Amino acid sequence: MKNQGLCFILVLLVLLAGCGITTPTRPSEFYMLSVDPGPPVSAHGDPAKPLSLGLGPLSMSDVYERPQIVTRPDPNQVKLAEFDRWAGDLKMNLEQVLAQNLMSRLNTDSVFIYPWSSHDEAEFQIAIRFFRFDGELGNVARIGGVWRLRDLKQDCELVTRRFQINERPDGKGYPALVRAMSTGVAQLSQEIAEQVAVIKPGCAK
């Protein structure tokens, strides 16, 4: 009986060990948005007249402030990619990419990211609220929201614009979706730069 009991325990241990052996999951992939410098907009091709800009605050729904890349196959459905993630903080990545895109398009090195120091003398402020930063794999990347341009010297709002950018990925997977998102951010940068380049300082009375 003792031998039978010992055999039973050994078999049970083997079975339990077998249950703990699972098929290994695939390693996570990590992504970042890429910079698209672009040529200077025509009204600001002269580096002798650099602008000074404050970028931010940038804000977005908390559904996007997470490591997982978010897709929306249906308006009422959200999917989180467990193994395809942002390499860092998405909002910080967005700030850095937008800042570099605007620097090249507006021929300036003076783009300060919020919150900027009191020593940084920004002439204008660009605040952006993202309502959408998602898409459908192999179909579309969607970036939407509203941006505002303020004259910081006279403390007034100059421009408010909604934006909705839909960019088709060049492939079916997450790398293609992130490339399309980067292209969408470049389009937003171009739109903002073109408006900033022609804006007249001062507030309407």
Tokens matching residue 96: 């850095």
- List, edge to edge, every strand of the sheet that includes 140-151: 110-113, 52-60, 124-136, 140-151, 156-167
| pLDDT the model gives residue 42 | 73
Q: What is the CA radius of gyration of the chain?
A: 25
Per-residue pLDDT of the chain (205 residues; tens, 9 = 90+): 455 555 555 555 555 555 544 455 778 999 999 999 889 997 654 554 568 899 999 999 999 999 999 999 998 999 999 999 999 999 999 999 999 999 999 999 999 999 988 777 888 999 999 999 999 999 999 999 999 999 988 889 999 999 999 999 999 999 999 999 999 999 999 999 999 998 877 776 5
| pLDDT the model gives residue 194 | 94
Cβ-contact 134, 70 below 8 angstroms: yes
Hey, what long-range contacts does 3-7 have (CB within 8 A, 24 or more apart)? none
CATH class in words for 52-198: alpha beta
| pLDDT the model gives residue 10 | 54
d(CA 125, CA 151): 7
Question: Which single residue is written with the structure tokens 């620097």?
Answer: 103
Tokens matching residue 145: 């929201």
Q: For the chain, which residues make up each domain, given as ranges?
A: 52-198
| pLDDT the model gives residue 4 | 55
| pLDDT the model gives residue 200 | 76
Return all residues near 106 (Cβ < 8 A) that are at least 6 apart: 40, 41, 44, 50, 51, 53, 193, 196, 197
